[in-house]
Amino acid sequence: MNAFPRLDAATRQKFIDADAALVGKPLNPAENCVPALQANARHMALMLLDDPSPARAREVAAFAESLIDASLAAAVTEPIACAKGCGHCCVTYVSCTFPEIFRLAEGVRGRADAEARVRDASARAQSIPQVYREVNRVICPILVDSACSAYAHRPVVCRAVLSLSLPKCLAIFRDGLRVDFAHATGTEAIRGYAVIMLRAALIVAGLPHQNYEMTHALDIALRDETAEARWLAGEPVFAGVAVDRADIADSHFYQLAEALASVVRQTI
Ligand code: SF4
């Protein structure tokens, strides 16, 4: 964990009280979301720093996931092409933060068939460099009968992939054509906000905050029930898991998360 000067309890509580109107409430990308980003990132950072729960990484991920679900439900008004039984996009490269991995593992653990598929997919994913993953597909091991079998535990990025066009999805994911994904309006912004807030909280808490290849990380988390506790204690539980190549220090997400973290750090 990072050591940095904390506010006294009374001053910190003033921020917490002021945040109450914004924490967990849907984000509206048509409005100025900066106060909500700070409030929700502060909330998650305090969970990680001060909550003694051994499941606090999962709890932070669950909070971010419920926030993105509420925000998407409020913001998306166009007819969505996605439906249960349509899993075309679940063949693409997926990366996420480690709290999301622990949460996904919670939805998979104990299902021997799924755990075996994760092991196989992890081995395959490790053998294919990320730049070749779009031509050497690794079908997500959580996908069963073209539906997500851990739907309530799926990562933030999976929740925000809402398409307006099945033909475009087929062109991209089935036919391998260079076509722009038909994002529903506002979904990219909401996903960005959720990711930046979660990552800012992790930065403030002194924990790894980047996005990592999902299947390899999930495989490791499933093999060790103490993984979350060890990770929270600073152990290199996921050593060897590849960072998403798009997640570099000069990327937009990276810099915004760092900027949000620097603001939040001064208010807790
Ligand atoms: S976790 Fe679920 S939604 Fe995400 S890629 Fe896998 S099957 Fe699809």
Q: How far is CA 97 from the centre of its chain?
A: 5
Which of 131, 93, 111 has the alpha carbon at shortest distance from 216? 93
Q: How far is CA 239 from the centre of its chain?
A: 19
186 residue type, one letter: G
Q: Ligand 1 centre and the CA of 244: distance in Å?
A: 17
Helices 56-75 & 34-50 angle (0-180, nearest 10): 160
Q: Ligand 1 centre and the CA of 55: distance in Å?
A: 22
Confidence of residue 250 (pLDDT cuts 50, 70, 90): confident
Q: Atom 4 of ligand 1 has which residue's CA nearest to it?
A: 158
For residue 2, what pLDDT is reported?
57
Q: Atom 8 of ligand 1 has which residue's CA nearest to it?
A: 90
Ligand 1 residue neighbourhood (C-beta within 6 Å): 87, 90, 94, 140, 142-143, 148, 154, 158
Locate tokens 């969970």: which residue?
47
Question: Is pLDDT of 177 > 70?
Answer: yes
For residue 3, what pLDDT is reported?
78
For residue 1, what pLDDT is reported?
55
**Cα–Cα dist 254/262, whole Å:** 12
Q: List, in sequence order, every beta strand (DSSP E) within 88-189.
A: 95-96, 143-144, 147-148
**For the chain, percent of residues with pLDDT exceeding 90:** 95
Q: How far is CA 57 from CA 105, 231, 261, in A?
A: 12, 9, 17
Which of ligand 1's atoms lies nearest the C-alpha of 157?
Answer: 4
Question: Is pLDDT of 175 > 90?
Answer: yes
Domain ranges of the chain: 9-265
Residue range 75-94: mean pLDDT, rounded: 95
Question: For residue range 183-201, what is the model confidence (pLDDT) as tens digits?
Answer: 999 999 999 999 999 999 9
**Cα–Cα dist 156/86, whole Å:** 18
Residue range 1-25: mean pLDDT, rounded: 93
**Cα–Cα dist 95/140, whole Å:** 11
| Residues comprising the chain, all counted | 268
For residue 72, what pLDDT is reported?
97
Question: For residue range 125-134, what is the model confidence (pLDDT) as tens digits?
Answer: 999 999 999 8
Which of ligand 1's atoms lies nearest the C-alpha of 151?
Answer: 2
Work out the mean pLDDT of the chain and round it to a whole number. 96
Question: Is pLDDT of 230 > 90?
Answer: yes
240 residue type, one letter: G
Q: How far is CA 205 from the centre of its chain?
A: 16
Q: Is the dihedral of CA 5, 8, 11, 16 positive or negative?
A: positive
Question: For residue range 90-146, what is the model confidence (pLDDT) as tens digits?
Answer: 999 999 999 999 999 999 999 999 999 999 999 999 999 999 998 999 999 999 999
**Cα–Cα dist 267/12, whole Å:** 7
Tokens found for residue 204: 């403030």
> Which long-range contacts link 138-143 to residues 24+ away (Cβ below 8 Å)?
138/91, 138/93, 138/215, 139/90, 139/91, 140/87, 140/90, 140/91, 140/94, 140/214, 140/215, 141/114, 141/117, 141/215, 141/218, 142/90, 142/104, 142/107, 142/108, 142/114, 142/117, 142/118, 143/87, 143/90
For residue 121, what pLDDT is reported?
98
Test site for ligand 1: of 69, 94, 117, most ligand atoms within 8 A of the Cβ: 94
Global pTM reads: 0.96
Residue range 19-48: mean pLDDT, rounded: 97
